[in-house]
Homo-oligomer: A and B are copies of this chain.
Amino acid sequence: MTLTPDQQQEIEAARAERHQTLRATAPGIEAHLHVAHPVLDHGMVRVVDYMGDDAAIVQAARVSYGRGTKAVQNDEGLIRYLMRHWHSTPFEMCEVKFHVKLPVFVARQWIRHRTANVNEYSARYSILDREFYVPAPEQLAAQSTINNQGRGAALDGDEAQRVLEFLKGDASRAYDHYEAMLGDTAPDGSPQQGLARELARMNLPASIYTQWYWKTDLHNLFHFLRLRADPHAQYEIRVYAEAIARITADWVPLAYKAFADYRLGGASLSATGVAVLKRRLAGEAVTQENSGMSKGEWREFLEVWGE
């Protein structure tokens, strides 16, 4: 990630301003405010604003006049109870706003989470920068042979080399032509009108970086993290989710710990799965054939519970 001197200066100016407030503050996220955390080769995530903290969850759950109990232990117990019993509304009382720079194909996955507020940089209005995602060699992976929407082993050297040349060459040429179409000078030096930006952008590949302001509440953020910080998520969105997860753990440590225990690290069992585990606990050696599960389900079951 490279910030221009202007951008760097704006961030530093924001970090230098200190305001007094009567609102609750969360020290763990104050330390992150405005700072650009690098993600991928040119991307970043930075917290622009937030509302609430662990105590705000408790306060809303109790509809109380003040800041809830002072005993952290009680707060933690209540937060764990709320998480365990799928009470979502108290977690909605915290809100966070990020500025994210990300490749377009990642943005297209991300935007499917609809319960968020988004302002994206407009390529109708402005000209995009010449920045494209190019995977690191260890991320240049082959199509998975067992998972239709996953990747397998890294490509070997020659093939990786060919892929890199395609990706870099095509992106570079597409951007050259983007500029040529937008410009006011024809190749022969004579003046030209310049294509509308809203049309020229269609020549750019999905690897180009865009940026947006993304604002969501903590409940929906947890839902996003659960799906996108998951090992089955595509690597390129997962690294954003992981960066956000680290920030969230600093922001609302009690809520994040409950989330990590009940969601990220937990497991969902079907009625069939519950029955199989009970048979195992009773000493029976259950097989796929007599489990009531399909082969796919059984494979996923073994991934968690072992043979």
Contacts and interface: CB of A to CB of B under 8 A. Distances in A.
B207 A206 contact: no
A264 B268 CA distance: 12
A1 interface: no
A169 to B, nearest CB: 8
Number of chain copies forming the complex: 4
Interface in A137-155: 139-144, 148-153, 155
A260 B265 contact: no
A10 B65 CA distance: 6
A72 interface: no
Interface string A95-128: 1010100011100100110110111111011000
A15 B227 CA distance: 38
A23 to B, nearest CB: 5
A250 interface: no
Given A22-B33, A170-B170, 19 more contacts: A3-B65, A11-B65, A14-B22, A15-B22, A24-B49, A49-B51, A59-B213, A114-B114, A117-B217, A125-B149, A142-B193, A149-B198, A155-B195, A162-B180, A162-B187, A170-B174, A170-B177, A203-B205, A204-B205
Report, nearest first, the 6 A-B pairs whose CB atoms are least far apart: A10-B66, A265-B271, A151-B196, A142-B193, A92-B117, A202-B207
